[in-house]
Amino acid sequence: MKLLALPAFSDNYIWLLHDKGRAVVVDPGQAQPVLDALEREHLQLEAILITHHHADHVGGVQSLREQTAAKVYGPERETMPEPLARLHAGDGVQALGLEFRVIDVPGHTAGHIAYFCAAPAGLDPILFCGDTLFSGGCGRLFEGTPEQMLASLDALAALPPATQVCCAHEYTLSNLKFARAVEPGNADLTRYIAHCEDLRSRNVPTLPSHISLELQINPFLRTRVPAVIAAAERIDPSARGPSGHLAALRQWKNQF
Ligand code: ZN
Ligand code: FE
């Protein structure tokens, strides 16, 4: 079993998981990076998993459908390149002999879903979370409320600590710059920034991250930590409760 991050556009990753000559891809915004990888690794595409409707996540689906035998899966409530199998919370996709369990994570878009694979042979658990959770950050609230995003992030934070977090964008360094402004005294964060700066200077992806790490450094998963609450209330003195603090952080980040 192997997990690859295929670069697409300027900062997207299309995640590809493969085993015994068969592959699954997640959010193929472009077809060509996937076709190149299938040819290079001699793989047959078995399934395409989609997290949400944005063009940088679905743009390559029709072309891949025409050129492979892949079955397409996506969220129940979003406009998608048809036909596809529609999924909602608790559904499971069977592919590569594995189960990918669907988690509802509204907030970035109204119907956004994530896929969790508990036991990929020889690898730690894997989460494909689209634009909901990023390393050091979270997606913009285009279609959802802070309450929804908080519940979505709480559901992801409750996954096993060793879970590999496969985000759809390389936003880590800019997220961490913001995280440092929120929590200048967080030593884990300072260490992680140095690590990620080194990776990016060598053009290596900072992903996948891990749930255990995100709990230490991601302000959007730390809305119940006193230092984060204090920072959120400096920006918006009227902010109350974890969703109010998350809303204040998200507003601040939008202008950061
Ligand atoms: Zn998006
Ligand atoms: Fe995106």
Q: How many CB atoms lie within 10 A of CB 248?
A: 23
**What's the pLDDT band for 1 if we cut at 50, 70, 90?**
very high
56 is catalytic: yes
CATH of the domain at 193: 3.60.15.10
112 is catalytic: no
**For residues 236-248, average pLDDT:** 98
* pLDDT per residue as tens digits for the range 220-230: 999 999 999 99
CA distances, 16 to each of 43, 128, 153, 252 (Å): 11, 10, 23, 34
CA distances, 164 to each of 37, 64, 213 (Å): 21, 26, 10
**For residues 118-146, average pLDDT:** 98
For residue 237, report the distance from its CA to the centre of ligand 2, in Å: 31
Exactly one of 18, 57, 210, 245 is catalytic; name it: 57
Give bridge partners of residue 126 from the DSSP assignment. 117, 164
For residue 68, report the distance from its CA to the centre of ligand 2, in Å: 24
Length of the chain: 256
For residue 7, report the distance from its CA to the centre of ligand 2, in Å: 13
pTM summary value: 0.98
The range of the structural domain enclosing residue 168 comes to 2-255
36 is catalytic: no
Number of domains in the chain: 1
Q: What pLDDT is attached to residue 164?
A: 98
Tokens of 62: 């029709």
For residue 166, report the distance from its CA to the centre of ligand 2, in Å: 13
